[in-house]
Amino acid sequence: MRTPRFSDVAEPSSECAVTKFLIHTPTSRREVPYFRPSIGEEEINAACETMRSGWLTAGPRAKEFEDDFGAFVKAPYTIAVASCTAALQLALEAMGVGPGVDVLVPTMTFASAVAVVVHLGARPVFVDCDPATLNMDVADLERRITPKSKVVVPMHFAGQPCALHEIRAIAEHHGLRVIEDAAHALAATYHTEPIGSISEVSCFSFYANKGMTTGEGGMIAATDEDLARRMRFMAYNGINRDCLTAAGVKRWWKYEVVAPGYKANMTDIQAAIGIQQLKKARRFRDERQHCADLYRALFDMVPSVRAPVVLQGLTHAWHMHVIQLELDQLRIGRDEFSLRLEEMGAGHNVHYLPLHMHSYYRDTFGCRAEDFPVAMSAYDRILSLPIYPGLADADIEYVVECIAAVADQYRR
Ligand SMILES: Cc1ncc(COP(=O)(O)O)c(C=O)c1O
């Protein structure tokens, strides 16, 4: 259990062409959106063909997408679902999470990943983050385990795999099961193993701004057959089709409701888009890597800004590019910094406002801001910058120029 050291930090994976960089004066004004999806004619044609095919909802294309995705992440079982949120809920349900159970979750994550714990009647137990990577802090995880803890849901923040070996060791020691929230981590690897192939269940998101998209959508990748069977029928009304008629034969209309399931299946229209997007997923990741390399080279020349820490031995998916401002060197805080960037047309966002700070969790579970000091301190300093396929180098240079100009203007 250790925090990353400087020697762990990986070098950029490719050379960046940084020829000219103006720190004090941004070049002429640009509008750089925080995100733009990459949808080609292939996806449009595939969606149209599906609509003409006469089969719209889960069918042959969903099956094909599941098979392709399983091959991509090297997972034996895959289930295409309506969202990553649905995937997480199905995984928790299949592991028997319900009233009286505690689930360990990061506070530095998206709301829906924890709401599903509450929907199942269980209690979320928040875990603080590592100051360098913003992933779940493994020492804090171990401290927060309660006698009722049954499952831990690590999330790969921004697309950088979290410390899965350590988390697995803690989980085994304390009898916890692991569900990976891999919403950010498509095409990421953990010491050569693809995310999706490691834990019993990993949940991916195909929301519009993810590593690939189906508009909305998600995928469960599982290594455990029994869990996969349960999640598959719970994703479709709790219907089990592996049953026989009274005459002892299989008929397409014969099914048995074995549990009050959810309606969480993916449609064939989404799957048709997904099949095409998946073919581009590695290129998309590589383009995001290029953006990250360029940011890194440019931020080397900008004081008061900490570029993301990247650990060695991992493939980062670069779903997000989160910098941290050195507030002790600045006369303004992140919020005012954000306003200045907005005025300059430099798109950005903040991920995340830690969940334990939200009124619902504060009032319902008695969470206190000071119980998660690392997340609180990080929240004050973080800014997510544009990173996506097709983002021009000139746009990245402009965003960094704007950040450098604001930092310069408000330096202590
Ligand atoms: C970390 C994390 N988990 C889960 C989700 C939920 O994904 P979806 O929108 O596919 O339900 C998101 C969505 O942004 C996310 O960022």
Q: Which atom of ligand 1 is nearest to the CA of 87?
A: 11
pLDDT band at 391 (very low <50, low <70, confident <90, very high): very high
The verdict on the CB of residue 110 being under 6 Å from ligand 1 is yes
- Burial grade of 20 (CB within 10 A; 0-12, 13-18, 19 or more): exposed
Lowest average pLDDT, out of 26-40, 212-226, 321-335, goes to 26-40
Ligand 1 centre to CA of 236 (Å) is 20
CA distance 111 to 284: 26
Q: Quick one: 313 exposed, middle or buried, by C-beta within 10 A (0-12, 13-18, 19+)?
A: exposed
Q: Is 202 in the pocket of ligand 1 (CB under 6 A)?
A: no
Cβ–ligand 1 distance for 205 under 6 Å, the answer: yes
CATH superfamily of 6-37+280-409: Aspartate Aminotransferase, domain 1 (3.90.1150.10)
Q: Which of 202, 205, 320, 350, when mutated, tests ligand 1's pocket best, judged by the most ligand atoms within 8 Å of its CB?
A: 205
Q: 80 C-alpha vs ligand 1 centroid, how far in Å?
A: 15
CA of residue 221 to ligand 1 center, whole Å: 15
Out of 6-20, 179-193, 208-222, 317-331, pick the least confident. 6-20
Q: Tell the residue nearest (CA) to atom 7 of ligand 1.
A: 84
176/60 Cα distance (integer angstroms): 36
Query: Is 296 exposed, middle or buried (CB count within 10 Å of its CB: 0-12, 13-18, 19+)?
Result: middle
CATH 3.40.640.10 residue ranges for the chain = 41-278
If you measure from the C-alpha of residue 118 to the centroid of ligand 1, how many angstroms do you get, rounded to a whole number? 16
pLDDT digits (tens, 9 = 90+) for 243-271: 999 999 999 999 999 999 999 999 999 99
Give the Cα separation of 330 and 406 in Å (integer): 10
Helices (H), ranges, 164-216: 164-174
Q: Is 183 in the pocket of ligand 1 (CB under 6 A)?
A: yes
The DSSP call for residue 163 is: -
Torsion angle of the four alpha carbons 44, 48, 51, 56, in this order, in degrees rounded to the nearest 10:
-20
CA atoms in the 13 A half-sphere facing the CB of 111:
6
What confidence tens digit (pLDDT) does each residue in 347-382 have? 999 999 999 999 999 999 999 999 999 999 999 999
For strand 177-181 and strand 201-205, is the pairing parallel, antiparallel, or unpaired? Answer: parallel
Residues of the chain with CATH 3.90.1150.10: 6-37+280-409
Report whether pLDDT(125) > 70: yes
- Give the whole-number percent of the chain exceeding pLDDT 90: 92
84 lines ligand 1 (CB under 6 A): yes
Q: What is the pLDDT of residue 18?
A: 44
Q: What is the pLDDT of residue 26?
A: 74
CATH code of 41-278, in short, is: 3.40.640.10
